[in-house]
A = this chain, B = another copy of it.
C-alpha cells in the first residue's frame, strides 16, 4: 500500500470513531455539542492519531485499543488548538481555513469546550485500560510538556532568546505529544523495552522536525495549504527556528532530524510506514 492510501484509510477510521465519541449536535447543552463537533470534525491532518496506530501496528499488527487512544490524543491536540487560538494567547482568527472556535461561539464557550475535550480524552484513555499510557500522555500535555512549552513560548514573544531556549519550547510545545503518540501506540501494541526506546527516539526526532517544518511553512507556505495566515509568527514576534538560525539552516536541521529518525528504525522490521511518514512530513516544505 502506498503512503497516501494508508493515510487516507487511517484518517477514515479515526474520523468515524471521533464522530461516534462526540455526542450528537442535539444533545444538551446543544451549544457545547455543536462547538465540539465544529472544533474536532473540521479537518486536520490527523497526524498524531495516525502515529499512534502506525506505532501499534509496527509492534503488533492489529491493536484494537489503539483507536480510542489515537482519538484521545487527537482530542487533546484539538483542545490545545482551541485554547492557543484565544485572543488572550495567540489570537488567531483562522484555523484549517475556517474561523477559529471563539470567532463563532465566543471566548467563554471556547475555553469550556477545550476543557470538555480534555476531560473526554481522559475518559477515552481510561477505556484502553492502560494506566502507563494514560499517565505518560497526561505528563506529555502538562506543565512539563505541551502546556509548559506553550507558556515558555508566550514568555519568549518579542524577546531575544538562545537556541537552547527555543529547543526547550519546541520540545515541549510540540514534540512531547508527538513522542507520546508513538509511545502510546507502541506500549498498547506490547513493545518490549528495546523497541520502545527505538520508537521513542524516532518520535522525539520527528516531533522536533515537525515544529521546525511548521515554523518554515509559516514563513514561506501558502495560506490555502497551511490553513492559517502566512507570516503570523513574525507579526507576533514569536521565537521560531527561521528567526533564530535562518531559513536555510532551519531546513538543514529538519532534514537532519528526519534522516536520524529514519536511521533509528533501521533494525526494526515493518518500519517502512514510519520511515515514509517521516519523509512525508518533511516533503511539506519541499
Contact = CB atoms under 8 A, between A and B. Distances in A.
A154 interface: yes
Contact of A89 (B33, B111, B141, B154): B111
B143 A83 contact: no
Interface in A89-125: 89, 106-109, 111-112, 114-116, 118-120, 122-123
Interface stretch (A24-32, A41-49, A229-237): A24-32
A229 B73 CA distance: 40
Contact of A147 (B119, B148, B152): B119
Interface residues of A, number: 47
A126 B116 contact: no
A23 interface: yes
A264 interface: no
How many copies of this chain are found per oligomer? 2
Contacts of A59: none
28 contacts: A23-B144, A31-B155, A32-B147, A33-B143, A36-B143, A86-B111, A88-B106, A88-B107, A88-B111, A89-B108, A89-B111, A109-B151, A109-B154, A111-B111, A115-B141, A115-B147, A116-B143, A118-B118, A118-B119, A119-B143, A119-B147, A120-B138, A120-B142, A122-B138, A123-B142, A126-B135, A126-B138, A131-B131
